[in-house]
Structure 1
């Protein structure tokens, strides 16, 4: 499967152990830097339809600010109630200090 990557933001715009909300081709994406890696998730909690980008990042998860649901940065898997459904994640690349994201999803709905 051929993937196309598009620019999401400059790497320096994403804080270490933090998150930046961006719009990529009409999709709201939370770009996260954690543990020296860059991750991208759909910027929407599957429990409450609020932006994950307003939450906290720690220990490889992003925590929704409203009810405390946590999502694994690598897989999007919900890691605690009240959310039970995963959030889509997208493949990322960093080239020339730019974060590139592929919005193409695999058969499982996850671009990992």
Structure 2
């Protein structure tokens, strides 16, 4: 079910963290200027906040230990033991919808 979660005007420096009651972990939204990506905001290695990391070559880098998570698939690199969940995104006008 597509759920409205944000407006593009809410993004600061291309980032926004949202919390949804039906999803236990915070969700990081990244607006690259062309696309919006949505993934869990916690590293699977040690629950570090991914929103504090840098975006490099289609991945977000955990600021604590350097695990990289692909923005499209959520696949991570060591030391992350598993991928982060990604959410399908749809933008209509200024509204960002996630398929939760």
State whether TM-score is above 0.5. yes
Q: Aligned-pair RMSD on alpha carbons?
A: 1.6
State the alpha-carbon separation in 1 of the partners of residues 15 and 84 from structure 2.
Answer: 15
Structure 1, gaps ≥5 residues long: 104-112
Structure 2, gaps ≥5 residues long: none
Say which structure, 1 or 2, has more relative contact order (CA 8 Å, 6+ apart).
Answer: 2
Residue of 13, 20, 26 corresponding to 1:24: 20
Normalised TM-score (structure 1): 0.78
The one-character-per-residue Cα deviations of 1:25-67 (angstroms, maximum 9, x if unpaired) are 3431000112611110011100011221121112111111111
Aligned length: 98
Q: Once superposed, which parts of structure 1, at least 4 consecutive aligned residues long, lie more than 3 Å away?
A: none
Normalised TM-score (structure 2): 0.87
